[in-house]
Structure 1
Amino acid sequence: MYSNFKEQAIEYVRQAVQEDNAGNYAKAFPLYMNALEYFKTHLKYEKNPKIKEAITHKFTEYLRRAEEIRAVLDEGGTGPGPASNGDAAVASRSKTKPKDGEDGEDPEQSKLRAGLNSAIVREKPNVKWSDVAGLESAKQALQEAVILPVKFPQFFTGKRRPWRAFLLYGPPGTGKSYLAKAVATEAESTFFSVSSSDLVSKWMGESEKLVSNLFEMARESAPSIIFIDEIDSLCGQRGEGNESEASRRIKTELLVQMQGVGHNDDKVLVLAATNTPYALDQAIRRRFDKRIYIPLPDLKARQHMFKVHLGDTPHDLSESGFEDLAHKTEGFSGSDISVCVKDVLFEPVRKTQDAMFFIKTSNDTWMPCGPKQPGAVQTNIQELAANGLASKIIPPPITKTDFDKVLARQRPTVSKSDLDVHERFTQEFGEEG
């Protein structure tokens, strides 16, 4: 298996040398970095000391060449001098980098960027920190990473640097994506929301270019946040039997970009979410300096969620009623509670459809009622609608009985074994949210 890594490294070197010879240093640099990543992986598996030594020697030469190119690209000056080794390109000293606007943007790059434009969240999702129930340490860590560096850049001097990569993991429906929406709302940053489908292309070599362009766009729009949902679908364990070549290349490019070699990435935050943290490639996992467990909501959080999801819908629940609901939904995820409330919201509508008695309220509307209620009129919604009163019919307020009825038929969707897996991962690699 490990010979694949060496072959891939050699192919990247060939492409890098070709671009280097042509003076395309911006293209040569990431190719050299991809080659180095594959050589590094190959060295882990190589047992022959002589081959290991030869690869290490080549690795050092290519790294030196990549550093020369990086220094030039950072300065925006002319091309680097001749490469110091026989394999790398000998670049002509007379070659200079094309000036902005001379040749215009590469049409291929324009096409890739146009495809990624849809990933930029231009409308704020309108989810505030206060809407996110519980998860206080996760919110605090994200505020440190997202809001403080933008509002108070003077805090981050010397060795103090903002967090650069967050992994949110936990069972499905616990609010990982919801937390990302809160970040998008509260942050004064460009927010890129991408999924595997945005970054996987059927064309050979295009997927890693999409990843590279995504990070380039994020650097240009800094301060910015890249949110990758379900990152496990992009970055599963390397070397698995069902892993495709395209998948390997995407992972390598993502590793290179997250390492930020040759770039100032202090103002680019990578935020990712997964339900299956163990499925992540180890190297990718290490790139996330903060790994936060988003657990099932506790009692107070569940109580808050019921209130948030009900919003301003009329109801007759007291504080103790909400507390009772929270006790009854032990083991429910945030998503389960959302589904429960959605179902409950329809209970008054169902009552209104089935009602045989209505009462006229003080503000001239009709509401279903019991047959013995004073002022009750025997009728139904069809008759009221036929008399031109359709717009005057309103459903009754939500009651505790409505919730009891729905909860009697709903079960939590997260199993004990799911929780055990995430708690074990937290003990080994993560921290509590």
Structure 2
Amino acid sequence: MTDPLTAALADGIALSHDIDYLRMRDELSEEEIALLLKVREFGEGEVLPVVNDYWERGEFPFELIARMRELDIVGDTMRGYGTTPMSAVGQGLISYEMARVDGSLATFLGVHVGLAMQSIYLLGSEEQRERWLPAMAAIEQIGAFALTEPEHGSDSVALEATARRDGDSWVLNGRKRWPGNATWCDLIIVFARDVDDGQVKAFVVEKDDPGFSASKIEGKVALRIVQNADIVLEDVRVEDDRRLVGCTSFADVAKVLMGTRNMVAWSSTGHAVAAYEIALAYAQRRIQFGKPIAKSQLVQAKLVEMLGEVTAMQLYCIRLGRLIDDGKLSDTMAALAKYFCSVKARDVCRMARDILGGNGITLDFHVIRHLCDMEALVTYEGTAEIQSLIVGRDITGQSAFT
């Protein structure tokens, strides 16, 4: 049972401030602000009160899916097919606000929209877009994305899952690891290597396809609400019309991943902002030695450092989104933003946990949940180390991958 002092401190602390020190909101359009406020109201009013319980149990809050349908927040720069028109900054703000209350729901949307839907949108034919995207845009069919394998994470370019052409069908074999939503999704984008030409191809596998199985990965201490899975493909047969025709090599996979690094940068910033808001409010209320700990020079120094990092992340993300909207984003720009924001956000969450002392490790104050979830964000969509190598190769002209 939570003691009365802890309960009193926790009550009203989480997300009690709106951190925008350099007036980031002045850079947003009215439509983008409306998106931010709509998702914020949903997150603080409906997600935050229940999220700790679901996180602790490692279960997905399926009852929130119906409410998410009503928000009309599926867009991510896609046009048509039932999607909601929005800028890349607008989509980023959705990830930002979702992660500010819960990284798992931000990841759910990132997988469904940024990976599964974008794979079909960018790599599929017009017929394939019409076939799958409208139901996915309405969040009536849920998508997942299977690239990483048990033996191939950072070197996913070397994936071993195979696709063999057999008449008008393809036969898929192999294993995948970590795809979110995969234990309950309706369809999953599976990447496999064509045994004939050695190139990577993409296929839409449906949950009831014979030979497809997904088992939940247990024991996670990050993004516990996300239902990550181990996937087995045993002679899974899919018709040729379920091969995404625009994917003919791993370079096409990279087109999808470049866009999702925008979402990871924004989500990381949302985690960091939440941690900073909580730490600031806590420091102003927590009395030690007869005064608020916010009066301590050591605590103020940490808060200022955290604010500096948070503000830099916000500005990174705004610029990243505008580059996407202008068609000027490169993969190395996306890599730098993902690297900087994920690493710095983890640092901010760690400092927030320090400021909260013993209370920092309890779910009552949310910070430990954000810190644990950031451990996943630093890793997925390309680890921080891989992102640094991508940028390092670009600025030096020398590859350090080998």
Please state which band the TM-score falls in when normalised by the shorter chain: under 0.3
TM-score by length of 1: 0.26
Higher strand share: 2
TM-score by length of 2: 0.27
